[in-house]
Amino acid sequence: MPAATQIVRLNVNGDLREIGVPMHFTLLEALRYELGLTGSKQGCDKGDCGACTVILDGRPTLSCITPVCEAEGHSIMTVEGLADTDGPHPLQDAFDLHGAAQCGFCTPGILCSAAALLEQTISPSRKEIKEALSGNLCRCTGYSKIYDAVMSAAQRLQVEAHLDGSSQ
Amino acid sequence: MIKNTRKSQSDLALIGTPMRKIEGLDKSTGRAVYTDDIVLPGMLHGKILRSPYPHARIVSIDVSEAKKLEGVHAVITGEDIPTKYGIIPWTADEYPLCTDRVRYIGDGVAAVAAVDEDQAIRALELIQVEYEELPAFLDPYEALAADGSTPYVHEPKKEGGNGNVTKQVQLEFGEVDELMVGSDVIVEGQYFFEGSTHTPIEPHCAIGLWDGVGKLTVWSATQVPHYLHRELARVLELDPARVRVLQPLVGGAFGGKSEPFDLEFCVAKLSMLAARPVKILYTREEVFYAHRGRHPFHMKYQMGSTNEGKLTSVNAEILLDGGAYASFGLVTTYYAGQLLCAPYSMPAYRFDSTRLYTNKPACGPKRGHGSVQPRFAFEIQIDKLSEKVGLDPFEFRRRNFIGSNTRTVNEMRVTSNGFLECLESVERASRWRRKFRRLPFGRGVGVAGSTYISGTNYPIYPNEMPQSGVQMQVDRSGRVSVFSGASEIGQGCDSMVAYIAAEELGVPLEYVRVLRGDTDFTPVDLGAYSSRVTFMLGNAAIDAATKLREMVQKAVAGEWEVEVSEVLLAGGMAMWAPDTERQMPIREAFNLAESAFGTLGATGWYNTPKDIHGEYRGGTIGASPAYSFTAHVAEVEVDVETGVVEVEKIWIAHDCGRALNPVLVEGQMEGSAYMGFGEALMEEQIFKSAEQGRAGLHNAPSLLDYRIPTSLDTPELESLIVESIDPEGPYGAKEAGEGPLHPSIPAIANAIYDAIGVRVDRLPFSPPNMWRAIERAREAGTLGVPQLPDGPQVATGKPQTKTVSSRS
């Protein structure tokens, strides 16, 4: 028997999308299977690994344990929404530059956690970065290169903020 | 065999410099495609029904109700694919789905394909399996002692034999007993290495697509597309020429995806029956049951030394708890002993290694296959010997250094060897001499060393063909296309061939495309295992690129009427060496070459030396074209009230030959040290006993309960690259992906001893295990900072190679 479906409206990366999904679908399933946004990953489907992390109203959120209906009315940002017309987000560029993504499977979730952190502060300490990423398991890097990348992106944001300030 | 004539860094433009990965931005933007990201039109979802018993006979399977369920398109059982498979040709002992017997909780018995995952799960619930439970072997000692009164895990190969024994290896080199008796000091110890598992963040996933007229396509998150190709054809009785394996990017593997798995055969067979594409994605729980991780090792070591600190004799007895199937176990049983004969020279060595089948998920190769466990025991033994003869453990290790261009006691050929430089790097960076035996009670430092192979001289199935091949072509736009069959699992091998193409052909990196992961159009590379890829694929890429470069040089030299050797290709230009103002864009140079020689393409390959190994049974196992070397220092803090060990920092020095891209080498070193740290302190792949209610049930098959280190757990890691420039490696490179894991664990163990005077001989060093060890020491009155050795503390030997990078 097909599961009962529902219509949900999601605000994803600035687009308002309407989809019909089974009642039990998680936000991750809706993103990956209905909207084709496969950047967010399923690593455990239990909220343990953080690979599915997206940004919900500015907060890092585990989409694999968020029922899709609860995401209605909220602003959802996924890894696909981090870049803009100017190019990749400074974090995305820094992850590439510093070798912070090895297999890359945890990377979208880590980027979302890190991006949410940098929305709070553009001068995080290494300790704050560690804490912000403590819900995202990476099995490849030992985290060192990830800290380097987040620090370097933060520095770029600081420089940009300084330039913006001085040009005004 | 390839000889690199260009060895100096000044001759290299890109190699050796920090570079981005070619797929780096795809990975950080979410564009990178992994197997589960692929959706095919009409695709069905498959699920596998798994055994709830550790050991049972299958009396009957009734799939009739499942077949009737709406939305179910195919149901299969073991009878549909009745051919055994296995990664080692001589020990194929698994069926894609069990035919008559299940051997661990999680063994597959039936599979379904349905319109969606929910419906597939409902179909599994309708399958009726009648089992007759059999006594299970969960303990390797009980498996060894079995007399056949209850069924063995597998049928004995010989009448009257013990069917629980996968493999036994006994090898002896030199006069072990004589030299042992003659030793000034002897240290004996028993060690237990608990099993651990890989836990790549990407679960295994595969998609099968049968075209209805004879061609099978399988996408899989595998480390070994070539072996998968072979096994799919053989087991499904298909023409290999009509089987295609595609390997999307792999989301971590670490050895856990280095053989065929049930899901790959099932998606293929289900697709053949349903005439629709079928995907199976393992749940995280299934990943834990698929396992193939680190074998639990029960080890006894006896090692002798002279009073001057020269090793005399080593005697080892090892029992491997293999789980239900052979996997790579034949090799593991050899590696348990064979890979221990460097970086220290030992005049005599004996090991007796036995692998047992037990009714648990099969163990196999995990990063540092077979040698991480004995290295743990061995390096603690070295620490004990150093103390007994009154030497600093660095000094003891230096005195036993095997050297370069030599043979080990088991006749392995060692060429380049930067182990002394590794020791010196970590000794200096960690400020060892200020800390060793001098830190306050509860804090300590420990050192350990190791070696690892850069691939194996002999492939898994006997053949004379190259171990790795690359095809390369250049086009009229100035672009270079590289066709590579190597397995990108995050280590960067796709980027590595691009760096080589750019280096040799003088084009910017962004002009290189790597076309990969498809057995239909890439030459064979045997797979991402045994740390073989950089060494072998790198040499193959140099071979192909050199052939193309020579054609381009010839064409340009003809145009300019100069010597071929005077034409340089670099920075996107062809230049005349005597006067580099004379130049042309590389595109024009390629066009000249195409005019002269026709469409431009070349293949390149690498094969290993085949005549360099010991002339004894097993002498080829562990023989490698080059060995890497590593040394770590760990600094720890131990709370003797709680048993909590905190690792503050690990200094990692690794001789990788040459770092083709130091960023990626450091990534491998740090990732390795991190993974060893996790095994040392927290990871346990363990199973419930009968007394706990469900014999053979995984204790914690989730990423919450099977704890791997988070960002908050992981210590500070400092990478110190050592370059010994290997004579046979590509530009001198050797492996970096597995070696740097080994010393983490014994370095931490030795640091714990330095901190509180307690020897830890079983993994993990978790609070309960530590607490027991601390209590025993408290009762024996040995808790405290050990004595500083009174022997010489001064370094000997002058390092010949340099440490090129140091970062924190």
Q: What is the mean pLDDT of each run of 10 residues along chain B (808 residues)?
A: 57 95 97 98 98 98 98 98 97 97 98 97 98 98 97 95 97 98 98 98 98 97 98 98 98 98 98 98 98 98 98 98 98 98 98 98 98 98 98 98 97 97 98 97 98 96 96 97 98 98 97 98 97 98 98 98 97 96 97 98 95 91 97 98 98 98 98 98 95 93 97 98 97 98 98 98 97 96 90 46 44
Strands B579-585 and B567-570: unpaired
Q: How far is A145 from B307, CA to CA, in rounded Å?
A: 44
Say yes or no for a CB contact (<8 Å) between B711 and A102: no
Q: What is the pLDDT of residue B792?
A: 52
B489 to chain A, any CB pair closer than 8 A? The answer is yes
Report the first-to-last Cα separation within chain B, whole angstroms. Answer: 38
A114 to chain B, any CB pair closer than 8 A? The answer is no
Say yes or no for a CB contact (<8 Å) between B703 and A43: yes
Structure-token pair, residue B593: 């070459």
Confidence of residue A166 (pLDDT cuts 50, 70, 90): confident
Look up the domain containing A161 and give its range: 90-167
User: What's the fold here for domain B35-134+203-250+257-290?
Assistant: Aldehyde Oxidoreductase; domain 3 (3.90.1170)
Going A101 to A102 to A108 to A113, the CA torsion angle's sign is: negative
CA dihedral B629, B635, B638, B644 (to 10 degrees): -60
CATH architecture of B9-32+469-606: 2-Layer Sandwich (3.30)
Whether A108 and A39 map to the same domain: the answer is no
Q: What is the mean pLDDT of residues A37-51?
A: 97
Whether A104 and A152 map to the same domain: the answer is yes
Number of folded domains in chain A? 2
The 3-state DSSP class for residue B665 equals helix
Mutate to test the interface with A, among B27, B121, B283, B702 (most CBs of A within 10 A): B27
A155 to chain B, any CB pair closer than 8 A? The answer is no
B118 to chain A, any CB pair closer than 8 A? The answer is yes
CATH number at residue A122: 1.10.150.120
Q: How far is B377 from B363, CA to CA, in rounded Å?
A: 20
Whether A36 and A103 map to the same domain: the answer is no
Mutate to test the interface with B, among A5, A13, A144, A151 (most CBs of B within 10 A): A144
Q: What is the pLDDT of residue B6?
A: 52
Q: What is the pLDDT of residue B133?
A: 98
Nearest to B75 by CA among B64, B86, B84: B64
Residue A167 has pLDDT above 90, yes or no: no
Q: How far is B519 from B526, CA to CA, in rounded Å?
A: 11
CATH number at residue A29: 3.10.20.30
Structure-token pair, residue B331: 């090799």
Q: How far is B10 from A50, CA to CA, in rounded Å?
A: 44
Whether A54 and A95 map to the same domain: the answer is no
Q: Which residue spans of chain B are classified as CATH 3.30.365.10?
A: 9-32+469-606, 297-458+614-806
Cβ atoms of B446 and B383 closer than 8 Å: yes
User: Which among A31, A60, A81 is the end of a domain?
Assistant: A81
A61 to chain B, any CB pair closer than 8 A? The answer is no
Whether A106 and A129 map to the same domain: the answer is yes
Contacts of B773 (CB under 8 A, 6+ apart): B758, B759, B760
Q: Does the interface ipTM go beyond 0.90?
A: yes
Cβ atoms of B381 and B434 closer than 8 Å: no
User: Which among A81, A109, A124 is the end of a domain?
Assistant: A81
Say yes or no for a CB contact (<8 Å) between B28 and A105: no
Whole-number CA gyration radius for chain A: 17
Q: What is the pLDDT of residue B629?
A: 98
A119 to chain B, any CB pair closer than 8 A? The answer is no
Q: Position of tokens 């061995």? A: B378
Mutate to test the interface with B, among A31, A111, A140, A152 (most CBs of B within 10 A): A140
The answer as to CATH 3.40.50.1110 being correct for domain B297-458+614-806 is no
Largest CA distance in chain A: 63
Burial B753-792, CB ≥16 within 10 A → b, else e: bbbbbbbbbbbbbbbebbeebbeebeeeeebebbeebebe
